[in-house]
Amino acid sequence: MRVSYFKPRKPLDFSPHPYDIGNSFGSWHKYEDSHFLNKVYRIDLVQFEEYYEYHLTYALKINVCNEETFFVKVWEVVEDRIKNLRAKDPFSSYHGSYKFRIEKLQQFQKYLSSIDQWNARPSHIVIAEKEELIQKQKEEIERLTARLSELNEFEVLQKISIGDNALPTLVDLLKQMSQLRLPSGRSFLACDKKSPYSKMISKYFSHDGKDIPLETSRNYFVEKKGDIPIKGTTVRKEHRIFEIIPVKEVQK
């Protein structure tokens, strides 16, 4: 008895499932591969997965094969048909139809390639894909290495040390600087976010010989409701020991 991998149309069924293959009568079963591919030509690309899964479910249900065997079967059917179509006379009046079918089958092959979890396709295809992936990974590593080298230019061997527990004083000075205006009236330091200040402190300053955690510096630069921080750490009056005074008046 012939083994069928694809769900056939039931005899005399005049309302079959759109993915069922074959005719309602007649000895078409020995051409089931062609009937399977005829559906591929007619469906949209977005239906490939659904169509494939429909027949896979059938094959597994009747226990004719496992998932890998079914995949290999479909791949071979598609590959053989592409070879057959390419061998057709290019000057035939059906050449346009052959070309369309080849392109559609190649699109279906791309879908099959995306689900090949067993590397069951011909070895030269799998090897070529892996080599391409390795090349892309090498290029990405080179790009990241170059980027890391650029970033390392901004690293410092020794941080600026803040003595006498004066971290709040530095914060106060930075806050004053963020409010300064140039003689033209424009902001001296323009920044919509507060995070650059906290990150700068943690990256380039140390406090009494110790690194300053980002969370510590971030607590000084929190959102405010009026003049009162919603949360975080305030700079106490005794730490506000410097005042930045412009030597030129700001234009009004």
Instruction: Read off the pLDDT of residues 16-61 as tens digits, 9 standing for 90 and up.
Output: 899 999 887 767 778 899 999 999 999 999 999 999 999 999 999 9
Round the CA-based radius of gyration of the chain to a whole number and report it. 35
Q: Which residues pair with 162 in a beta bridge?
A: 207
- Separation in Å, CA 202 to CA 158, 165, 178, 196, 207: 13, 15, 18, 10, 9
Domain residue ranges of the chain, discontinuous segments joined by +: 29-128, 160-239
Per-residue pLDDT tens digits for 131-163 = 999 999 999 999 999 999 998 888 888 999 998
Whether 104 contacts 39, CB under 8 Å? no
In this structure, the number of other CB atoms found within 10 A of the CB of residue 246 comes to 11
- Which whole-number Å values give the CA distances from 36 to 50, 108, 248, in the listed order? 14, 12, 84
Q: Give the range with max mean pLDDT: 64-73, 222-231, 238-247.
A: 64-73
**Please, which residues have CB within 8 angstroms of residue 236's CB and are 6 or more apart in sequence?**
168
Burial 153-173 (b: 16+ CB within 10 A, else e): eeeeeebeebeeeebbbbbbb
Number of C-beta neighbours around residue 51 at 10 A: 19
Rounded CA gap, 241 and 218, in Å?
A: 21
Q: Which two tokens stand for residue 43?
A: 């469906």
Its pTM stands at: 0.60
Reported as a single tens digit per residue, the pLDDT across 223-241 is 665 555 556 788 999 999 9
